[in-house]
Chain A
Amino acid sequence: MSSPFDHLRTHELCLGRALNDLSPEELRELEQLNGTTEQDIDEFDIAVSAMHLAFLGEVDEPLPNELRARIEQSASQTLGRPD
């Protein structure tokens, strides 16, 4: 069972992770505390992304055509592959 201290520390580390402000040691500590990995997305990450979208305001440049074609090709390879 986790202690109130663990809960506060997890909160602090999740906040730091979303802001890209954790050392590798702190990332490992977070993983041990709440069992999540670097790939997991939490509400702090979503809040940071929401701010990112708000700061950008609007976007108007489409993907370059060549890049888009490469991505479409990789999609058929990735999606056709089993997990």
Chain B
Amino acid sequence: MTKGTKPDTKADSSREPTLLERVSRGDKLAVSEVLETYGPLIWSIARKGLGPALAEDAVQEVFIEIWKHAKRYDPERASEAAYIATIARRRVIDHGRRVGRRPEVEEVPEETPDTDNSLELVELADEARIAKEALAELKPEQQRVLKLSIVEGLTHSEIATTTQLPLGTVKSHARRGLERVRTLLQERREASGEVR
């Protein structure tokens, strides 16, 4: 995947079909393009959520889910990247529950290496850019709680233990942060017609 590649996901009637729409019609080339475009993202979500040993099975399950639900994707509700990331998150969490995997607390660094093959996720989904803006408004403690919950997959009780914060504070940080991002996404969607 080369940096800056962004699938066309415009939602007007004259737009090109999205990758998922093409997949749902059985387009084999679209399957390869989905793997190329979103494979690194799904691989990253699975490795961080489950560890490398369990990630492969989970990634296969994620893609089966994507193929099955491709026709349910609505480009007016979310970007393809956010939709796919949601499926991946759900599957990875389910897989972790089934195999009894508890996440290791290994927080991701603020900056990841910038290589020729890297893919900027804010380029892939406008929602990520908006979320980044909203997260920057939050206190560092709130950001850390959200990161431990969302990226590392820790339960709120585990976050309370890790951060030494009261459980009620952890829940409040997570919920307020999510409310903030959701509100901002909604406002932007209303202002521009839709988020892309």
Interface residues, chain A, with chain B CB atoms under 8 Å away: 15-16, 18-21, 38-39, 41, 43-64, 67-68, 70-72, 74-76, 78-80
* Additional pairs, 8, CB under 8 Å, beyond known A16-B175, A72-B35: A21-B149, A53-B127, A54-B135, A57-B121, A58-B114, A59-B44, A59-B112, A80-B26
| A48/B89 in contact, CB under 8 A | yes
A25 to chain B, nearest CB (A): 16
| Selected contact of B185 from candidates A20, A46, A80, CB within 8 Å | A46
B7 to chain A, nearest CB (A): 14
Q: How far is the CA of A71 from the CA of B77 in the complex (A)?
A: 27
Interface residues, chain B, with chain A CB atoms under 8 Å away: 1, 23, 26, 28, 31-32, 35, 39-45, 47-48, 56, 59-60, 63-64, 67-68, 77-78, 81-83, 85-87, 89-90, 93, 108, 111-115, 117-122, 124-125, 127-132, 135, 146-147, 149-151, 153, 155-156, 171, 174-175, 177-179, 181-182, 185-186
| Selected contact of B43 from candidates A52, A58, A61, CB within 8 Å | A61
| A50/B130 in contact, CB under 8 A | yes
A21-B155, A41-B86 as given contacts; A58 in contact with B56, CB under 8 Å: no
| B149/A20 in contact, CB under 8 A | yes
A41 to chain B, nearest CB (A): 5
Q: How far is the CA of A30 from the CA of B181 in the complex (A)?
A: 22
| A20/B155 in contact, CB under 8 A | yes
| A46/B83 in contact, CB under 8 A | yes
- List residues of chain A with CB within 8 A of the CB of B155: 20-21
| B39/A78 in contact, CB under 8 A | no
Between-chain CB contacts (< 8 Å), 19 pairs:
A19-B156, A20-B93, A20-B153, A41-B83, A43-B182, A49-B83, A50-B82, A50-B127, A51-B178, A52-B85, A56-B48, A57-B112, A58-B112, A59-B112, A60-B113, A62-B1, A74-B64, A75-B67, A79-B67
A21-B171, A58-B112, A63-B40 as given contacts; A50 in contact with B35, CB under 8 Å: no
A59-B118, A72-B32 as given contacts; A49 in contact with B179, CB under 8 Å: no
